[in-house]
Structure 1
Amino acid sequence: MANLIGINLAMQTTFNESGEVDYNAYEKLIEQYIEAGVHGLVLGAGSGQHPYLTEAECNKLYEIGIKRINGRVNVICQTSALNVDEVIRRSRHAEKAGADALMILPPYFEGPTDDDGLFEFYREIDAAVSIDIVGYNIPQSTQISVSPELLSRLQGLKNFNYIKDSGGDFTIHQQYIQSGGGVLNGCDTIALYAFLAGTKGAIWGAANYMPRETVQLFNFVQEKQYEEALALWNKMLPSLLLIQTTNYIPSVLYAAHLRGFGTGILRKPQRAITEQEATVLKAALQPLLNG
């Protein structure tokens, strides 16, 4: 079982002005994030605009990324797809390339939504790979909620050892933790409280623009420096609340570019934030920039 404790940064994908993946910028960015102290990188994450990447692009990102990372931090590759055979093909490729774990969404468009159907989906994938599977609960995007009861069943599979919970329901999050499995918070605005509740760590999109701060927050909680954690959290929270309630990915990439991480370029159909939105975001970032 991979040790995914800590901050697993849901890494952006770097694009050039023509909308092509900029692999040189991508390797530079990996170095920046590792230098910032993150415990893991999630390649092909939602924050990396996974739905708008081809399978070939994902495979190349994973191969280049894993080689560049070279065991210095954990590597989680998102291998989500609607077709089960494609998920298995993508997953086996990532495993062969050297991934430590796979992040896989449930069948998010007109697939099964009942517990038995979801269990079978993951069971078939689990049987085809030999590394950890990180399930993914994000009901606001998939219209599927992984129940605590289903999570307990899934934990009986040989490789299903973690779940990323982006749902934001703190009651369910704590039920997940009580199940005894590996829980990684994915909802930015409850991160501090998830750490206090005992979650193993996070798969965190906003870490793209504040990698050092997210690591420091996690470390403060581990070291029981709660006053310091709360003070840092209060600097982080204004921008977290804003991005969570507006255009998440465009805002994260804008903030990251502003702070020197990545190219800031989106792939269509994503659209850049407006000048007015940028002004509001800069104001929300001020507590971080000032201290």
Structure 2
Amino acid sequence: MAELKGINLAMQTPFEPNGAIDYGLFEELIEKYVSAGVHGLVLGAGTGQHPYLTESECNRLYELGAKRIAGRCNVVCQTSALNMDEVIRRSQQAESVGADALMILPPYLEGPSDEDGIFNFYKEIDAAVGVDIVGYNIPQATGIAVSPRLFDRLSGLKNFNYIKDSAGDFTVHQEYLQTRGRVLNGCDTTTLYALMAGARGVIWGAANYMPREAVELYNLVVAKDFERALALWQRMLPSLLFIWRAPYTPSVLRAAQLRGFGTGNVRKPLAKLSAEQDTALRAALTPLFEIAS
């Protein structure tokens, strides 16, 4: 079983202005994030615009990424797809190039939404791979909520050992923590409190623009230095509140660009922030620049 504790950075995919992937910059960003001390990199995450990447692009990103990371931190690859055979094919390919774990959405877009149907979906994948599966609870995007009861049932499978919880319902999050499974927080605005409550770690999009601060926050919680953790959190929070309510991925990528990580470009159909949104984001980031100065 992979140990996915700590900061698993949901890594951006850097794009050129025309929407092509900048693979050279992708490798440069890996170096920056590994140097910042992150415990894992999630390649092809939602923040990496997985829905708008082709299967071949994902395969290349995962192969390049695993090779560049070279065991210095965990490699998690998202292998979600609508077609069952494609999920398994993507998953086996990611495993073959060195993925430590696979992040997989439930069967969204008119797939089975009953608990038996979701369980059987993951059960088939579980039997086809030999690395950890990270289920993904993000009902605001998929329309499917993984109940704590279902998560506990899924945790009885051989490889289904984690769930990424991005729903933002802290009550459900704590119910997950009462099961036998391992929980990774995915809601930016509850990160500190999820870690304090016992989440094993996080899969964190906002870490793209504040990797060192994210690692520091985790280390402070582990050390039970909650006063300093809360002080750091207060400097993080304005930008986290902004990105959670604004267009998420364009906000994270723009924030990352402003702090020296990436191009800020998105791939269609996503669009960059408006001038008004950009001004508000800059204001929300001000406390983080004060930390760095």
With normalisation by structure 2, the TM-score equals 0.99
Q: In the alignment, what sits opposite 1:273?
A: 273
Query: Which string of whole-angstrom CA distances, capped at 9 and with x for unpartnered residues, describes residues 170-196 of structure 1?
Result: 111011111032100000000000000
Do 2:66 and 2:98's aligned partners in 1 also have CA atoms closer than 8 Å? yes
Q: CA RMSD in A?
A: 0.5
- Are 2:137 and 1:132 equivalent residues in the alignment? no
Q: In the alignment, what sits opposite 2:50?
A: 50
Q: In the alignment, what sits opposite 2:154?
A: 154
- 1-side partners of 2:263 and 2:285: how far apart? 18
Do 2:155 and 2:180's aligned partners in 1 also have CA atoms closer than 8 Å? no
SS of 1:278's equivalent?
helix
Alignment of 1:2-17 (within 5 A): 2-17=2-17
- What is the Cα deviation at residue 72 of structure 1? 0.3
Between stretches 13-22 and 39-48, larger displacement belongs to 13-22
Moved over 6 A (4+): none
- What is the Cα deviation at residue 18 of structure 1? 2.0
- What is the Cα deviation at residue 246 of structure 1? 1.1
Q: In the alignment, what sits opposite 2:248?
A: 248
Q: In the alignment, what sits opposite 2:228?
A: 228
Alignment of 1:189-268 (within 5 A): 189-268=189-268
Alignment of 1:10-159 (within 5 A): 10-159=10-159
In structure 2, list runs of 5 or more residues that go unmatched. none
SS of 2:107's equivalent?
coil
- 1-side partners of 2:5 and 2:152: how far apart? 20
Do 2:13 and 2:21's aligned partners in 1 also have CA atoms closer than 8 Å? yes
Percent identical among aligned pairs is 68
Amino acid at match of 1:283: A
In structure 1, list runs of 5 or more residues that go unmatched. none
- What is the Cα deviation at residue 16 of structure 1? 1.0
Query: Which string of whole-angstrom CA distances, capped at 9 and with x for unpartnered residues, describes residues 116-143 of structure 1?
Result: 0000000000000000000000000001
Amino acid at match of 1:37: G
- 2-side partners of 1:290 and 1:275: how far apart? 23
SS of 2:177's equivalent?
helix
- What is the Cα deviation at residue 162 of structure 1? 0.3
Amino acid at match of 1:3: E
Do 2:91 and 2:129's aligned partners in 1 also have CA atoms closer than 8 Å? yes
- Are 2:282 and 1:282 equivalent residues in the alignment? yes
- What is the Cα deviation at residue 20 of structure 1? 0.8
Aligned residues: 291
- 2-side partners of 1:7 and 1:185: how far apart? 10
SS of 1:178's equivalent?
coil
Do 2:162 and 2:184's aligned partners in 1 also have CA atoms closer than 8 Å? yes
- 2-side partners of 1:16 and 1:199: how far apart? 36
With normalisation by structure 1, the TM-score equals 0.99
- 1-side partners of 2:207 and 2:25: how far apart? 18
